[in-house]
């Protein structure tokens, strides 16, 4: 039992990283119906932007973080403006490939500037452990999951209580009706990209203060697609529930199965979850609509 909890609890906590990346996916998807395959790269860029500001440009920490966020916002906005806006009206295939192109390009930029090496970020969480149900968990994990939940709550508030957020929800529901009610689609699409890249980037920065950052960590972005899908493509709550759940499944599977299959099962469990969900419940746990069947 202790062993099980020992896998489960860190899994649940680090699983919130999927929640944060998924929130980015969902923000873009529910506003624009674009699934941004490059979300993992924005996650990395969040970490690299902070690295650039603090370690390379030597700005003080309190100034470096806001500057990094501004950089991310600019990047998200310009991605939308220069790559996705010309693609409006193109078939879904082209849009998927476009976001893949963005992800390859950004990966190239990151490898070019920061190479493959692990780059450490300034630690912001204190080291040490905390006892939860008899399991010692690093305090960093606790902080990380708490902040992820805070980000989630902020986004829920944003989508349900603020004007821009409601506009986005309206556009997601029916873009033509929203437009005729005076919602500027261009503005909210750009806003969605800015918010998504900032949110994901903050998640990346927070996780990478614990682990350091390499371009390889972009794989987290693809894995969190499983979370988005299982939770429902439009549902913030789905991401909040499925993120820790998939994290826990990964840790438990890695703990129990790795000795038998020779390691690395953590990297594929999420995709197995994805395929199971697509076969039996394609709209996810809390998705809005039954997807079209033929």
Dist CA 19 CA 245 (whole Å): 10
- Nearest distance from C-beta of residue 206 to another protein, angstroms: 26
- Does residue 118 interact with another protein by CB under 8 A? no
- The residues that bridge with 131 in the sheet, in sequence order, are 136
State yes or no: residue 83 binds another protein (CB under 8 A).
yes
Q: Under the criterion CB under 8 A, does residue 57 sit at the interface with another protein?
A: no
- 3-state helix, strand, coil split of the chain in percent (to 5) is 75, 5, 20
DSSP 48-85: HHHHIIIIIS---HHHHHHHHHHHHHHHHHHHIIIIIG
Kindly determine how many residues on this chain lie close enough to bind another protein according to the rule CB under 8 A.
49
Shortest distance (Å) from residue 13 CB to another protein: 24
Distance (Å, whole) CA 111 – CA 226: 26
289 lies in the binding site for another protein (CB under 8 A): no
In the complex with another protein, the residue whose CB is nearer, 115 or 139, is 115
Binding positions for another protein, 206-245, rule CB under 8 A: 222, 225-226, 229
Which of 210, 21, 49 is CA-nearest to residue 114? 49
Report d(CA 76, CA 192) in Å as an integer. Answer: 9
CA–CA distance, 50 with 96 (Å, rounded to integer): 28
Q: Is 102 in the site for another protein (CB under 8 A)?
A: yes
Q: Which of 55, 67, 105, 124 lies at the binding interface for another protein (CB under 8 A)?
A: 105
267 binds another protein (CB under 8 A): yes
Q: Check if the beta carbon of residue 138 is closer than 8 Å to that of residue 129.
A: yes
Kindly tell me which residue out of 55, 67, 73, 97 binds another protein, with binding defined by CB under 8 A.
97
Give the nearer residue to another protein in terms of CB position, either 62 or 93.
93
Asked if residue 67 binds another protein (CB under 8 A), the reply is no
293, containing H or E segment: none
Q: Which of 67, 175, 185, 278 binds another protein (CB under 8 A)?
A: 278
Residue 138, strand partner residues: 129
Note whether 291 binds another protein by CB under 8 A. Answer: yes
Report how far apart, in Å, the C-alpha atoms of 255 and of each of 42, 63, 269 are.
29, 41, 12
Site string for another protein, 8-47 (x = CB under 8 A): ---------------------------x------------
Chain centre to alpha carbon of residue 115: 23
Q: Is 81 in the site for another protein (CB under 8 A)?
A: no
Among 58, 176, 180, 292, interactor with another protein by CB under 8 A: 292
Query: Under the rule (CB under 8 A), what is the footprint of another protein?
Result: 35, 83, 86-87, 90, 92-94, 96-98, 100-109, 111-116, 222, 225-226, 229, 261-265, 267-268, 271-272, 274-275, 278-279, 282, 291-294
């Amino acid at each position: 039992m202790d062993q099980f909890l020992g896998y489960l609890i860190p899994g649940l906590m680090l699983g919130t990283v999927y929640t944060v990346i998924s929130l980015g996916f969902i923000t873009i998807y529910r506003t624009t119906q674009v699934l941004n395959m490059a979300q993992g790269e924005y996650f990395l860029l969040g970490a690299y932007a902070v690295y650039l500001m603090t370690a390379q440009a030597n700005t003080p920490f309190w100034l470096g973080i806001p500057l990094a966020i501004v950089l991310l916002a600019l990047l998200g906005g310009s991605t939308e403006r220069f790559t996705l806006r010309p693609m409006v009206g193109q078939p879904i295939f082209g849009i998927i490939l476009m976001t893949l192109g963005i992800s390859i390009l950004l990966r190239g930029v990151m490898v070019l500037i920061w190479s493959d090496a692990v780059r450490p970020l300034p630690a912001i969480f204190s080291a040490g452990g905390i006892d939860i149900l008899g399991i010692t968990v690093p305090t960093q994990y606790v902080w990380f999951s708490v902040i992820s939940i805070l980000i989630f709550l902020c986004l829920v508030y944003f989508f349900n209580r603020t004007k821009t957020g409601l506009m986005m929800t309206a556009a997601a529901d029916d873009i033509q009706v929203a437009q005729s009610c005076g919602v500027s689609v261009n503005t909210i699409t750009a806003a969605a990209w800015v918010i998504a890249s900032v949110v994901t980037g903050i998640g990346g920065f927070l996780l990478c203060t614990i682990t350091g950052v390499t371009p390889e960590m972009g794989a987290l972005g693809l894995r969190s697609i499983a979370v988005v899908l299982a939770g429902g493509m439009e549902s913030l709550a789905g991401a909040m529930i499925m993120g820790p759940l998939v994290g826990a499944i990964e840790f438990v599977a890695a703990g129990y199965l790795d000795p038998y299959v020779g390691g690395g099962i953590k990297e594929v469990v999420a995709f197995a979850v994805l395929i199971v969900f697509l076969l039996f419940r394609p709209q996810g746990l809390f998705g809005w609509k039954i997807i079209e069947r033929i």
